[in-house]
Amino acid sequence: MSATGKPDVVVIKKYANRRLYDTSASQYVRLDHLRRLVKEGCNFKVVDAKSGEDLTRSVLAQIIFEEESKGETLLPVDFLRQLISLYGDSMQSMVPSYLQMSMDAFASQQRVMRQKMADAMGGDSIGVLEEQARRNMAMFQQAMQIFAPFSAGEAMPENPRASEDGVAKAEDVQSLRDELAAMQRKLEQLANDKH
């Protein structure tokens, strides 16, 4: 049992009718529930409800297959061919540990990169990105208003830049350019620090 009172390994029972039952939540679930558990870092084991056989590997492979068939491709065709060709090969026994080591290294690098991005953006990278997205959307909407045809009876302004709003928009655009240039410099610095 973990400190939260939940089991360390959640047991998922798979029945003959292909239904999955999460014993920790006492409910039937679908594969997308198991996908969420994986993303949350929850350790689970899928067992055949009748025989107790461990089906975790095949269910995880099924989740990957479904994600790949949705267009969320992660596995290149050449990689899949190479992987298939290793079944029955004398090197087959070394592949799982090599792949595990490679994925662990990748995950570690991903955490480091995310932390560097957060540090480069002042710690609140999500807030900064959300604010930037709001500004970009507002700027996009303003640009669309300039290029949108005028409705019937509405006259086109003689000089849109002559208004106070036009001056504010130009200042906003310059401000965004400055912010983007600063972000570009930080990203280049991160890339140089990595090498």
Instruction: Report pLDDT digits (tens) over 64-83.
Output: 999 888 887 888 888 888 88
Instruction: Look at residue 96 and tell me if it is in a domain.
Output: no
User: CB neighbours of 30 closer than 8 A, spacing ≥ 6?
Assistant: 20
Query: pLDDT for 108-166, tens place per residue?
Result: 888 888 777 777 766 555 666 666 666 766 665 555 555 444 444 444 444 444 445 44
pLDDT of 45:
96
pTM of the model: 0.54
With contact defined as beta carbons under 8 Å apart, do 31 and 63 qualify?
A: yes
Cα(86)–Cα(88) distance, integer angstroms: 6
Report pLDDT digits (tens) over 12-40: 999 988 899 999 999 999 999 999 999 99
**Residue 184 lies inside a defined structural domain of this protein:** yes
Which run of H or E residues covers position 13? strand 10-14
Residue 62 has pLDDT above 80, yes or no: yes
The answer to whether residue 94 is domain-embedded is no
In a shared domain, residues 71 and 118: no
Q: Is residue 41 part of a domain?
A: yes
Q: Which of 77, 92, 124 is the last residue of a domain?
A: 77
Structure-block tokens of residue 77: 């065709």
Q: Which two tokens stand for residue 151?
A: 């409705």
Q: Which residues contact 143 (CB under 8 A, 6 or more apart)?
A: none
pLDDT value at residue 157: 47
What CA–CA distance (Å, rounded) separates 29 from 25?
Answer: 9
| Residues 131, 59 share a domain | no
Query: Is residue 179 assigned to a domain?
Result: yes
Smallest CA-to-CA distance from 53 within 87, 21, 15 is with: 15
The answer to the question of residue 27 being in a domain is yes
84 assigned to some structural domain: no
- Which of 53, 77, 101 corresponds to the end of one domain? 77
Amino acid 163: pLDDT: 46
Provide the token pair at 60: 């995880």
Query: How many Cβ atoms are within 10 Å of 40's Cβ, its own excluded?
Result: 7
For the chain, the domain total comes to 2
Residue 140 in any domain: the answer is yes
Domain-ending residue, one of 51, 77, 103: 77
CA contacts within 13 A on the Cβ side of 47? 12
Domain range holding 51? Answer: 6-77
What confidence score (pLDDT) does residue 64 get?
92
